[in-house]
Chain A
Amino acid sequence: MANYSLLIDYDYCTGCHSCEIACQQEHGYPVGTNGIVVKEYEYEAGGRVRIDYLPFFTPHCDLCKDRRTREPTPACVKHCQSACMEFGLTKELAARMGDRNRLVLYTHNPGR
Chain B
Amino acid sequence: MNSTGVFPTIAWSAGAGCHGGCGQKVFVEQGKMVRIEGDENHPWNQGRSCPRVLALTQYMYHPDRITRPLKRVGERGEGKFEPISWDEAFDTCEQRLNEIKRKYGAESVVFAQGTGRDIGGPITFLAYSFGSPNWCQLGLSGQSCYTPRLGSMKSVIGDFGVVDCSQFLERRYQDPEWVAPEVIIVWGQDPPNGCPDAFFGHWIVDCMKRGSKIISVDPRNTWMTGRAAHHLQIRPGTDGALALGMLNVIINEGIYDKAFVEKWVHGFEQLKARVQDYPLEKVAAIVEVPADRIAAAARMFAKARQAAVHWGVPIDMCPDSTAVAHAIICLWTITGNIDIPGGQVIAKPSHGVSSYPYTTEELLQLYGEEMIGRLTKKRIGADTYPMVKNFRAWAHPDMVIDQMQTGEPYPLKAAWIQTANILGGQAARAGFHYEALKKLEFIVVVDLFHNPTSMALADLVLPAATFPEKDSIRAWYAPLSIIQKRVQVAECKSDWEINFELAKRFNPEGLKQWNTVEDMFNERLAPSGMTFQDLRKLGGWKMAGEGPSRPYRRHERGLLRPDRKPGFNTASGKVEVYCDTFKSWGLDPLPFYTEPPQSRTSTPELYEKYPLVMITGARSQLFFHSEHRMIPWLREKMPDPYVEIHPETAARYAIYDGEWVYLKNDMGRVKRKAKISRRVKPGHVHTMHGWWLPELQGKAPDLFGVWDYQINKIIPGPQCSKSGFGGGQYKTTLCTLAKIED
Per-residue contact bits, chain A 47-84, to B (CB 8 Å; 1 contact, 0 not): 01111110000000000000000000001001111110
Task: Output the nearest chain B residue to A16 by Cβ-Cβ distance.
Answer: B621
* A42 interface neighbour in B54, B202, B206, B678, Cβ under 8 Å: B678
Task: Output the nearest chain A residue to B56 by Cβ-Cβ distance.
Answer: A25
Known pairs A78-B38, A81-B192; A18 contacts B51 (CB<8 A): yes
Question: Of B42-50, B306-314, B666-674, which binds chain A?
Answer: B42-50
Q: In the complex, are the beta carbons of A21 and B54 less than 8 A apart?
A: yes
Task: Output the nearest chain B residue to A11 by Cβ-Cβ distance.
Answer: B227
A80 partner residues in chain B, CB cutoff 8 A: 48
- Interface majority SS on A: helix, strand, loop or mixed? mixed
Q: In the complex, are the beta carbons of B678 and A44 less than 8 A apart?
A: yes
B359 interfacial contact with A, CB 8 Å: no
Q: In the complex, are the beta carbons of A31 and B632 less than 8 A apart?
A: yes
Question: Of B218-226, B448-456, B717-725, which binds chain A?
Answer: B218-226
User: Total interface residues on A, using CB and 8 Å?
Assistant: 29
* B205 interface neighbour in A12, A52, A78, Cβ under 8 Å: A12
Most buried by A among B51, B205, B222, B225: B51
Task: Output the nearest chain A residue to B222 by Cβ-Cβ distance.
Answer: A51
Known pairs A12-B209, A49-B226, A51-B221; A79 contacts B679 (CB<8 A): no
B677 partner residues in chain A, CB cutoff 8 A: 42
A78 partner residues in chain B, CB cutoff 8 A: 37-38, 40, 47-48
A35 interfacial contact with B, CB 8 Å: no
* B50 interface neighbour in A16, A42, A50, A83, Cβ under 8 Å: A16
Q: In the complex, are the beta carbons of B636 and A32 less than 8 A apart?
A: yes
* B202 interface neighbour in A30, A32, A82, Cβ under 8 Å: A82
* B231 interface neighbour in A48, A75, A83, Cβ under 8 Å: A48
Task: Output the nearest chain A residue to B49 by Cβ-Cβ distance.
Answer: A79
A24 partner residues in chain B, CB cutoff 8 A: 54-55, 633
* A22 interface neighbour in B54, B209, B222, Cβ under 8 Å: B54
- Interface majority SS on B: helix, strand, loop or mixed? mixed
Q: In the complex, are the beta carbons of B54 and A79 less than 8 A apart?
A: yes
Q: How large is the interface on B (under 10, 10 to 19, 20 to 34, 35 or more residues)?
A: 35 or more
A79 partner residues in chain B, CB cutoff 8 A: 37-38, 47-49, 54
Known pairs A25-B57, A81-B202, A83-B48; A15 contacts B37 (CB<8 A): no
Number of A-B contacts (CB under 8 A): 97
B32 interfacial contact with A, CB 8 Å: no
Known pairs A25-B57, A44-B678, A78-B37; A18 contacts B226 (CB<8 A): no
A14 interfacial contact with B, CB 8 Å: yes
Most buried by A among B193, B225, B622, B678: B678
B28 interfacial contact with A, CB 8 Å: no
B37 partner residues in chain A, CB cutoff 8 A: 75, 78-79
B154 interfacial contact with A, CB 8 Å: no
13 A–B contacts, CB within 8 A, in A order: A12-B209, A14-B223, A15-B223, A16-B50, A17-B51, A18-B49, A18-B621, A42-B677, A42-B679, A49-B226, A78-B37, A81-B192, A83-B206
Chain B residues close to A by CB (< 8 Å)? 35-38, 40, 47-51, 54-55, 57, 192-193, 201-202, 205-206, 208-209, 221-223, 225-226, 231, 621-622, 632-634, 636-637, 677-679
> In the complex, given contacts A18-B48, A48-B225, A78-B48, what are 15 additional A-B residue pairs having Cβ atoms less than 8 angstroms apart?
A14-B205, A15-B192, A17-B51, A20-B51, A20-B637, A24-B633, A30-B632, A31-B632, A42-B678, A51-B226, A52-B223, A53-B223, A78-B40, A81-B202, A81-B205
Shortest 10 CB-CB distances between A and B: which pairs?
A14-B192, A50-B226, A49-B221, A21-B54, A21-B51, A81-B202, A17-B51, A31-B636, A49-B678, A79-B49
